[in-house]
Chains A and B, each alone.
Chain A
Amino acid sequence: SQTIHQWPATLVQPVGSPLSLECTVEGTSNPNLYWYRQAAGRGLQLLFYSVGIGQISSEVPQNLSASRPQDRQFILSSKKLLLSDSGFYLCAWGRYNQPQHFGDGTRLSIL
């Protein structure tokens, strides 16, 4: 069966520090991968998606970037975090015309 792992679960970072969140999928190959951000009590906003190694599409302009160095690995990064980057980040995998499956999320707090 397919599983998705996302870490860390919780992260507290100072303003201006770098960020790296990692997501890996097991049990499937060539998945579509997605990063979402969820503000407190709000819906999910799609940040990036990837349909293959090295292929990244950004949905909204922001301080973050994403990379897909391997087929089942998706990384969310920032060189310098802003206060506005705080939130709950979710990674998901899916296929065309199929529901997405989500990781457990990372709660990011910027101080």
Chain B
Amino acid sequence: AQTVTQSQPEMSVQEAETVTLSCTYDTSENNYYLFWYKQPPSRQMILVIRQEAYKQQNATENRFSVNFQKAAKSFSLKISDSQLGDTAMYFCASMDAGGTSYGKLTFGQGTILTVHP
């Protein structure tokens, strides 16, 4: 079974600065996918970024990038030039590849990020 751990319940950052959210995971599969989702106060779940385990290159999406360390089973999210709209709960999630996983996601407990003006 997969497990995903986010060890930082809460984080805060000043507007325009950089913050890194941590995530570790455990899976017995060789091929899998990792995701970061954002849940703002509206409680919508919004996909931020996706990483495929067989790709060594770290994924980036504008101000969001990841540091994927496969051997360490670590998948951190870096937010550059933080904006007030980045205030949200962030969830790390994993998905085993292949049909037998049925596309199921395993979520971490989340990190509440507050961006201060």
A residues near B, CB below 8 A?
32, 34, 41-44, 46, 49, 51, 57, 88, 90, 92, 94-102, 104-105, 107
Contacts and interface: CB of A to CB of B under 8 A. Distances in A.
A57 B105 contact: no
Contacts of B98: 96-97
Given A42-B110, A88-B43, A100 B105 contact: yes
B64 interface: no
20 contacts: A34-B104, A41-B110, A41-B112, A43-B110, A44-B105, A46-B105, A49-B102, A51-B102, A90-B45, A92-B45, A96-B103, A97-B33, A97-B97, A97-B103, A98-B103, A99-B35, A100-B103, A102-B44, A104-B42, A105-B43
Contacts of B107: 43-44
B22 to A, nearest CB: 15
B75 interface: no
Nearest to A95: B103
Interface string B93-104: 001011101111
Given A90-B45, A102-B44, A32 B103 contact: yes
Contacts, number: 56
B102 A96 contact: yes
Chain B interface category by residue count: 20 to 34
Interface of B: 33, 35, 42-45, 47, 50, 91, 95, 97-99, 101-105, 107-110, 112
B95 A97 contact: yes
A34 B95 CA distance: 14
Contacts of B45: 44, 90, 92, 102
A25 to B, nearest CB: 14
Contacts of B112: 41
Nearest to B47: A99
A104 B95 CA distance: 22
Contacts of A98: 103
A107 B105 CA distance: 21
B103 A94 contact: yes
Contacts of A94: 103
